[in-house]
């Protein structure tokens, strides 16, 4: 597994639960030094990391991974990249089919599953995750919940096992978080 996945789990545990919680996770998997973002690790170690994190936090792995997805969507660099995917939440959901390709532009060796989106009615979607990627599906469910809030949409998001059902009741239920395409760090050499 790409080290960025493991490193992200490590950062989530540290940021959300503290260094002491991470120390417990690291001790459970005998990895006191943590994870380097651009190294590769055996998939079994990633699965052990997920299990150890969930056990340390006292919650099922699926719930911990959903929390990870929501946390990831709140991290400003990731949030900005995600918000570029659509003007509203419905467009964002439809753009998930492009996420694997976009991720591979930046990290060609990231083993990310393919997402498929089926429209099943107005504001109703089913998001499938390629086989063998159940952990990614839980992360995606949490990310979808957080992005729904970010866009100000009222949506019911249910991980049904075979797919994630997304039912958008109101695209403008509440005020969306501020987002400006031009915002962000200034580019070097940019003319004001």
Is 68 a domain residue? Answer: no
The DSSP 8-state label assigned to residue 40 in this structure reads: B
Residue 100 and residue 22 share a domain: no
Give residue-wise pLDDT tens across range 43-80: 999 999 999 999 999 999 999 999 999 999 999 888 88
Residue span of the structural domain in which 77 resides: 73-170
> What is the average per-residue pLDDT within 80-101?
90
Residue 139 and residue 83 share a domain: yes
H-assigned helices in 3-133: 3-17, 19-28, 43-57, 61-74, 76-83, 89-95, 99-106
Give residue-wise pLDDT tens across range 167-186: 999 776 776 777 666 655 44
Give residue-wise pLDDT tens across range 26-49: 999 998 789 999 899 999 999 999
Task: Please give the tally of structural domains in the chain.
Answer: 2
């Amino acid at each position: 597994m790409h080290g960025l996945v493991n490193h992200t789990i490590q950062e989530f545990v540290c940021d959300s639960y503290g260094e002491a919680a991470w120390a417990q996770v690291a001790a459970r998997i005998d990895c006191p030094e943590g994870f380097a973002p651009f190294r590769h690790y055996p998939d079994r170690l990633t699965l052990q990391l997920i299990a150890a994190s969930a056990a340390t936090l006292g919650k099922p792995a699926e719930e911990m991974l959903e929390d990870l997805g929501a946390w990831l969507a709140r991290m400003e660099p990731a949030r900005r990249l995600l918000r570029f995917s659509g003007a509203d939440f419905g467009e964002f959901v439809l753009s998930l089919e492009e996420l694997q390709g976009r991720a591979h532009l930046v990290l060609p060796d990231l083993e990310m599953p393919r997402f498929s989106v089926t429209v099943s009615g107005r504001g109703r979607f089913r998001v499938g995750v390629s086989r063998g990627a159940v952990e990614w599906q839980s992360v995606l469910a949490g990310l979808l919940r957080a992005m729904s809030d970010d866009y100000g949409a009222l949506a019911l998001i249910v991980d049904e096992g075979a797919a994630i059902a997304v039912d958008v009741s109101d695209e403008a239920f509440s005020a969306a978080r501020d987002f400006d395409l031009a915002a962000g760090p200034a580019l070097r050499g940019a003319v004001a």
